Amino acid sequence: MPTAVSAPVSAAVSTPLLEVENLTTAFRRDGAWREVVHGVSFTVGARETVALVGESGSGKSVSALAVMRLHPRQASRVGGRVLFEGRDLLALPEPAMRGLRGDAIAMVFQEPMTSLNPVLTIGFQIAEGLMLHRGLGREAAEAEAVRLLDRVRIPAARSRLHDHPHRFSGGMRQRVVIAMALACRPKLLIADEPTTALDVTVQAQILDLLKELQDQEGMAVLFITHDMGVVAEIADRTVVMRHGRAVEAGDTAEIFRGAHHPYTRALLSSVPKLGSMAGETRPLRFPIVSATTGAVDVPPGLPDTVTPGQRPVLEVSGLTTRFDIRGGLLGKVRGCVHAVEGVSFTLGAGETLALVGESGCGKSTTGRSVLRLIEPAAGSVLLDGEDVLTLGPAALRERRKRMQMIFQDPFASLDPRMSVGAAIAEPILLNRLGTRAEARARTADLLQRVGLTPDMASRFPHEFSGGQRQRICIARALAVRPRLIVADESVSALDVSVKAQVVNLMLELQAEFGLAFLFISHDMAVVERVSHRVAVMYLGEIVEMGPRAAVFGDPQHPYTRRLLAAVPVPDPARRGARHKVSADEIRNPIRALDYVPPVRQYREVSPGHVVQAWGEEWEPKGTSAAA
């Protein structure tokens, strides 16, 4: 489908649909009022898409909820003016405001898994707004709901009307949420990070859908996001927020071309851009721009950390992990989730191998199986030539010193009741790698090494920000001087600028200690930046693997191509150049007990770059899913 071109921006901004003037929001915490949004102003014209961008804590979502007046009344205070079609929303009586919500102004939230009521059918949840605002009867409203579900391309909409939300995948749920928001044909749609929780290919589908529906309905969209790639993809104008203030606003293309505020420049420079590594063979650090002065710190090139010809630190072959599905009268095994199926790869010292793929592809299970945090069903995992899978409990504990893990959520991976010093020293003491005094000295050293100060050892995790906590987790992993670190989405939950710093730190540590990283991520742009080699996983198997430059520069497997095509490029000039992504759902790897996995053929495209032979299901179909 050719992308419909949005209405010309210049015509749209003449009379703004929404004018936010000097918006302030304060919350009461422990009896004291704390202002988190300090006088933000912006406008959204009819049919226009405006992006509110910022990192966590910038006040972007708070501002959006304030526009809708959805903050709890007792614990929040909103000031300024919010004019919608000339009426001040903040001065409206509550019933009049309710009349606008869901009717003229609708909202889509971030987390599709939680923004639908689990005990009500999706049909009812869509019909609810129609019955309220349009006075439709149950039947008429449900008929309209079917039409809406068709429009957001839920397959077999009529038969799924009475399904509960848990029967839908994340992407499908977000479509339902969008259908719900569009029910009363709103003039303004506020979308709060609507694609953040989704896989890239699903994100691309949802963005396409939003754009298309916007053109058809002629509605304005206020799009809240932290993702500059998404901004470049969809926004006419962009408002950059930081610490509760709008630091810069303007035409999206102009902001990307030449931002004025140092913070905007810092933000843009720390965004990993897919394709920016063409011509580079080794990983590269992110340039760090000071958010206050705008001074650019161009990173020095990293030394080559890989020595060819050495025996790899990690040799994985035929790794297979399955989870039983039980059922029936006696709870017999009915089938298996083939989470990891015949995965083989090697990883050398000082090398980073990225495992990429979308949720459910088995990349995390692979990482955990390598460390034997999950017991694999078959295969071998050689760590320095010794098979980890056959080790007894004592020997395994001993070998775990050489392999460590860094998890995704830095908030959940530190014990809140343990000081960070104790957390870092614990692995040293447990493994009897030193006395208490030595552990203390090493903790101080490690804290310094990851960019913190030794005096922070006595503090507790809640006193640190997300990025700092992830640094602590890295220090803890380094405490036992490992050879291999499995980093499972370790930077995915971090804000872009923090993400860039943590990635830089990991690269420096690799150069210093010759660490081998198994870098598990869904973020193609970060993977391009950090890895030497890349393995693309799909349905538990590696479908393509090779040097990073080869896989990104010359992707062979249709899935790799689809994955790369779906990544939003933070460059408004290249908007629409992206390939259309089909609306296929990722299939699930649940198989019957008698399933015999097919023997896969791999072909070598160039030295070290192998690709799995693919079957007919990957051949392009005549009718693309995008109508």
Partner 1 sequence: MGAYLLRRLLVAVPSLLGISLILFTILALAPGDPFGDMASNPNIPPEVRLALRAKFGLDDPVLFRYWHWLVAMVRGDWGFSFQSRTDVARLILDRVPTTLFVVGSSQVLALLIAVPVGIAAAVRPYSLLDKLANTLAFAGFSLPTFFTGILFILVFSINLHWLPFVYDADIQATGLAWYWEHVRQAIMPVCVLGFFQAASYTRYVRSAVLDVARLDYVTTARAKGLAEGTVTRRHIARNGLIPVVTLVALQMPAVFGGAIVTEQIFRVPGIGALLINAMLANDTPVVMAVTFVFACLVVLFNLIADLLYGWLDPRISFG
Residues that bind partner 1 (CB under 8 A): 65, 68, 70, 74, 98-103, 106-107, 109-111, 114-120, 128-129, 132-133, 164, 166, 177, 180-181, 326-331
CA distance 170 to 112: 6
Name the strands in the sheet holding 352-356, side by side, starting at the edge strand that comes first in the sequence: 403-406, 484-488, 516-521, 352-356, 533-538, 541-547, 609-612, 602-606
* DSSP state letter for 598: P
**Minimal distance, residue 331 CB to partner 1, in Å:** 7
For residue 238, the cross-strand partners are 51, 250
Q: Which is nearer to partner 1, 100 or 339 (CB)?
A: 100
Instruction: Determine the Cα–Cα distance for residues 48 and 301; give it in Å rounded to an integer.
Output: 42
Compare residues 180 and 347 and give the one whose CB is closer to partner 1. 180
Residue type, 557: H
Contact 126, 176 (CB under 8 A): yes
Q: How far is the CB of 185 from partner 1 (least distance, A)?
A: 14
Residue (116 or 288) nearer to partner 1, CB:
116
- Taking the least distance from each CB to partner 1, the nearer of 31 and 385 is 31
Least spacing, CB of residue 84 vs partner 1, in Å = 14
Q: Which is nearer to partner 1, 109 or 517 (CB)?
A: 109
The nearest distance, CB 522 to partner 1, in angstroms, is 22
Cα–Cα nearest to 69, from 114, 25, 130, 128: 25
Q: Cα-flanking dihedrals φ and ψ of residue 464, to 5°?
A: -115, 155
Q: How far is CA 567 from CA 56, 205, 445, 585, in A?
A: 21, 11, 39, 17
DSSP 569: P
CB of 93 to partner 1, least distance (A): 13
Name the residue nearer to partner 1 (CB basis): 129 or 350.
129
Interior angle at CA 477, CA 472 and CA 478, nearest 5: 95
> Which of 373, 365, 364 lies closest to 400, judged by CA?
373
Judge whether 281 and 547 are in contact, CB under 8 Å: yes
* Shortest CB 115 distance to partner 1, Å: 4
- Do residues 320 and 340 make contact, with C-beta atoms less than 8 angstroms apart? yes
Cβ of residue 102: shortest distance to partner 1, in angstroms?
4
Taking the complex as a whole, how short is the minimal distance between the CB of residue 135 and partner 1, in angstroms? 13
Asked if 319 and 540 touch (Cβ cutoff 8 Å), the reply is: no
Toward partner 1, which CB reaches closer, 335 or 547? 335
Q: Give whichever of 224 and 314 is closer to partner 1, judged by the CB atom.
A: 224
What are the phi and psi torsion angles at 415 (to 5°)? -70, 120
- CA-to-CA separations, 303 to 227, 502, 509, in angstroms, rounded: 30, 18, 12
Closer CB to partner 1, 330 or 599, in the complex: 330
- Nearest distance from C-beta of residue 144 to partner 1, angstroms: 14
Contact 522, 492 (CB under 8 A): yes
By C-beta, is 113 or 140 nearer to partner 1?
113
- The residue among 74 and 601 lying less far from partner 1, judged by its C-beta, is 74
Taking the complex as a whole, the smallest distance from the CB of residue 242 to partner 1 amounts, in Å, to 25
Of 156 and 330, CB closest to partner 1? 330
Q: In the complex, what is the shortest distance from the CB of residue 525 to partner 1, in angstroms, rounded to a whole number?
A: 28
**Spatial contact of 286 and 495, defined as CB atoms under 8 Å apart:** no
Q: Which residues contact 538 (CB under 8 A, 6 or more apart)?
A: 357, 361, 559, 586
Q: Which residue has the tokens 């749609």?
A: 189
CB of 141 to partner 1, least distance (A): 12
Please give the angle made by the CA atoms of 81, 232 and 20, to the nearest 5 degrees.
Answer: 5
In the block, tokens 């509760």 appear at 244
